[in-house]
Amino acid sequence: MSNVTVERGILVVGAGLAGAVHARQLADAGIRVRVIDRRSHIAGNAFDEVGSHGVRVHKYGPHLFHTANRKVLDYIQRFAEWVPYTHRVKAVLPSGVLVPLPINLDTINIVFGTKLANEEEARRHLTSIAAPIVRPANAAEYLASQIGLQLRDLFFRPYTKKMWSLDLEEMNADVVKRLPLRFDRNDSYFADTDTQVMPRDGYASFVASMLGHPLIEVSLNTSFDHAMLNDFDHCFASLAIDEFYGFCDGELPYRSIRFHHRTEQLPSDSGLWKEQADATFSVINFTDNGPFTRETSWARLPHHIHERTGYTTITKEEPCDYRDNDYERYYPVKTADGVNEEIYTRYKRRSEADSNRITFIGRCGTYRYLDMDQVINQSLMGVQRWLAARGVQSR
């Protein structure tokens, strides 16, 4: 592997997926890298650990890896053993009945009390109730044009309000377009074209393997300081771009999550999980107006029972403004009026003027909601471009 002349090394801010991929690719090119993270652990929001009851829990909510990108799939297999997993979700109706989500043929039949038999009948039914909106201006209009008002208001209106603190009419349609709509009985949460896998030993172990290189130094409990830029040849920063520039062009809003954990005996014998011990789903979404969006039963995920104690952990999620949760930024807020995008664009222009010393990466650096495979792919491509500009071919 060729070496590039980088006398002072590279600083990577953030030991999550974006930072880890950047660090590893740079180290593989023979460049010394220092990775810092303000938290006490690596892996960012994908961090997981085995709790006191022997069950692996994702500290910042369930992370389910899926991708149609062969390059990304080959890359992650360098650092961990991955096991097949098909993610399935149920939504609980006001009646207490659980239905598949995303919406499929069974969901439609249960909600409307119909007996549609196949994909053609399901399509015809939804077409008959869909609103004739040719150019949807927001999430509300887009959903109405696809599934009609009843399904929209049942599955998306309360959820959107508590998740984003916005009405559907205020939301950008791209936010809801991520969820597929099915007309058969396929109940996989993700697209059929995606390979779905989970790291056998968890995401923290996966990221630790990526960072395990003699040219990578990791410093946890270490916050970024602007003066650090003077000590390195370049910085790849998974930082909130608005905070880096002192909020001079305005504050970019984020939603955050408060997690509420409880312990139950296996099989779970209370609440919505009662008599569902052999079911294949691991997440339940709430369609009511209460504060919670979903809950996860961790023992249902593959290889998440580390020690059989007879108990599992179940986690409920309560969305909130990031300022009300110790400034933990999870989800960029995309509104139909594009105001937040305009603010980000101004920061992006500032960062382009600083591109000789710093590159912003990850969800907070680019103000985009990114799936894990997208983070990895963008990181691989970003490092490749940076190295190519300096005459070095990345691995």
Query: Do 59 and 48 contact (CB within 8 A), yes or no?
Result: yes
> pLDDT (tens digit, 9 = 90+) per residue, 105-116?
999 999 999 999
Domain 102-178 sits in CATH at: 1.10.3110
HSE value, Cβ hemisphere, 13 Å, CA-based, for 125: 23
What 110-113 contacts at long range (C-beta under 8 Å, 24+ apart), as own/partner pairs, is: 111/150, 111/151, 111/154, 112/150
Q: What sign has the CA pseudo-torsion 17, 20, 23, 25?
A: negative
Give residue 178's pLDDT band: very low, low, confident or very high (50, 70, 90).
Answer: confident
Mean pLDDT within 156-168: 97
pTM: 0.93
Give residue 273's pLDDT band: very low, low, confident or very high (50, 70, 90).
Answer: low
Residue type at position 144: A
Mean pLDDT within 81-100: 95
pLDDT of residue 326: 96
pLDDT of residue 2: 45
pLDDT of residue 270: 54
Please give the Cα distance from 253 to 172 (Å, whole number). 14
Q: Where are the domains of the chain?
A: 10-47+70-76+203-253+328-389, 102-178
Give residue 1's pLDDT band: very low, low, confident or very high (50, 70, 90).
Answer: very low
Residue type at position 373: D
DSSP 335: B
Give residue 394's pLDDT band: very low, low, confident or very high (50, 70, 90).
Answer: low
Please give the Cα distance from 237 to 243 (Å, whole number). 12
Structure tokens at 158: 């309360």
Mean pLDDT within 79-91: 96
Examine the pLDDT at 271 and tell me if it is beyond 70: no
Mean pLDDT within 360-373: 96
Examine the pLDDT at 4 and tell me if it is beyond 60: no
Report the chain's mean pLDDT, rounded to a whole number: 93
Query: Do 29 and 2 contact (CB within 8 A), yes or no?
Result: yes
DSSP 63: -
Give residue 5's pLDDT band: very low, low, confident or very high (50, 70, 90).
Answer: low
Spatial CA neighbour of 252 closest among 192, 181, 139, 334: 334
Q: How far is CA 234 from CA 45, 155, 230, 377, in A?
A: 24, 46, 9, 21
Is the domain covering 10-47+70-76+203-253+328-389 a CATH 3.40.50.720 domain? yes
Sort residue 45 into left (φ over 0), alpha (ψ -120 to 50) or beta.
alpha
Examine the pLDDT at 61 and tell me if it is beyond 80: yes
Residues sharing a CB contact under 8 Å with residue 130, sequence separation 6 or more, in sequence order:
144, 145, 146, 147, 148
Mean pLDDT within 309-331: 94
Q: What crossing angle do the helices spanning 119-129 and 139-155 adopt, rounded to 10°?
A: 110
pLDDT of residue 376: 98
